[in-house]
Amino acid sequence: MLSKHSDDVEARRRFIKSASAFALTVAALPPALACQQADTARASVDAGRPSRINIPDRQEPGTRLFMSGVIYGADGKPAPGVKMFLYHTDAEGFYSRPVSDPRRSRLRGTVWSDAQGRYAFDTVKPGHYAGTSQPPPLHIHVHLEPPRLPDHWVESFYFEGDDRLYPAQVARARGLERFSNVITFKPGESGVLQGVRDFRIDPALAERNRLAEDWYRGT
């Protein structure tokens, strides 16, 4: 009869053999597949905090947009785990129906910056406010909530070429390049317009633009 020591030795041998086989299998994976599996593992960990979202479904009418960028901390380094909340009108200029209420916006979503500070979202181009003769420029509202800082609003996404843009908005965005909130869109695949905007976390701005706890009544 084998002793407990012999059983332990044999179990260790089986473990080492299986571990070695697994290591050889992983080493033999093509780099692209290895990266894909790593991405899948990260996605499963962060499943509740996606770094890319679709705000509307694919049946939503309107011109499709894809926005992406990087969020940087006050130290200039990419900032992971920053919560970004977005909302806007539909292509006809309604937040909700039958009453257009920005605090009950139908098109809204939440995304978090990943380990490299990156975020992305797909949506449709909003319309000018319906039912008004003097609507503001087209825009997508954006709120940021960095770790250890309050949830706060920052300048909306605006659209280059919108004739409703105020001169002051254009002047303020001039020269900011990727940090500009007036977005220049370029045609991408399947006609999707692609834009880029980076953010820099400003603790003073976060305090100044802090949101009231009941600012949004939507669910």
Please give the share of the chain, as a percent, with pLDDT higher than 90.
68
61 and 148: one domain? Answer: yes
- Does residue 105 sit within a domain? yes
Residue 219 counted as domain residue: no
Lowest mean pLDDT segment, chosen from 13-22, 39-48, 63-72, 124-133:
13-22
Whether residue 97 is found in the same domain as residue 121 = yes
The β-bridge partners of 72 are 78, 200
From the list 66, 61, 58, 121, the residue with the least C-alpha distance to 94 is 61
Q: For residues 219 and 198, give the distance between their C-alpha atoms in angstroms, rounded to a whole number.
A: 28
Closest by Cα among 143, 170, 171, 138 to 155 = 143
Are 195 and 95 found together in one domain? yes
Percent of the chain residues past pLDDT 70, beyond the cut: 76
Closest CA to 93 of 139, 55, 156: 139
Rounded to whole angstroms, how far apart are CA atoms 111 and 18? 40
> Does residue 218 lie in a domain region?
no
Is the Cβ–Cβ distance between 173 and 180 less than 8 Å?
yes
The residue type at 13? R
Question: How much is the pLDDT for 47?
Answer: 61
Query: Among all chains, which residue has been given the structure tokens 């220049």?
Result: 184
Same domain? For 152 and 86 the reply is: yes
**Whether residue 113 sits in one domain with residue 29:** no
- C-alpha radius of gyration, the chain, whole number: 24
**Is the same domain home to 30 and 113?**
no
Same domain, 30 and 79: no
Same domain flag for 11 and 105: no
Indicate whether 109 and 149 sit together in one domain: yes
Same domain, 16 and 100: no
pTM summary value: 0.77
CB 159 within 8 A of CB 183: yes
CATH number of the domain residue 89 falls in:
2.60.130.10
- On whether both 37 and 58 belong to a single domain, the answer is no
Residues 84 and 104 in one domain: yes
CA triple 11-12-14, angle to 5 deg = 65
**Distance between CA atoms of residues 75 and 200, nearest Å:** 9
* pLDDT, mean of residues 170-175: 91
pLDDT (tens digit per residue) in 97-121: 999 999 999 999 999 999 999 999 9
217 found inside a domain: no
Residue 77 falls inside a structural domain: yes
Q: Which residue has the higher pLDDT, 47 or 33?
A: 47
pLDDT at 41 over 70: no
Q: Which two tokens stand for residue 44?
A: 């499963």
Mean pLDDT of 156-172: 94
pLDDT attached to residue 5: 43
Number of domains comprising the chain: 2
Give the lowest-confidence range in 66-70, 112-116, 133-137: 133-137
Residue 89 tokens, joined: 């009108």
Residue 214's pLDDT is: 67
pLDDT for residue 190: 85
How many Å apart are CA 155 and CA 139, to the nearest integer?
10
Q: Which domain holds residue 184?
A: 49-208
pLDDT at residue 52 greater than cutoff 90: yes
Residue 21's pLDDT band (boundaries 50, 70, 90)?
A: very low
What is the token pair recorded at 14? 């089986």
Q: Quick check: is 121 in a domain?
A: yes
Q: Please tell me the predicted confidence (pLDDT) of residue 24.
A: 37
Measure Cα distances from 140 to 5, 32, 38, 108, 195 in Å: 67, 35, 33, 10, 13
Q: Mean pLDDT throughout 8-17? A: 43
Q: What is the pLDDT of residues 182-218, one digit of tens each?
A: 999 999 888 899 999 999 999 999 999 999 876 665 4
- Give the pLDDT confidence score for residue 46 in this predicted structure: 59
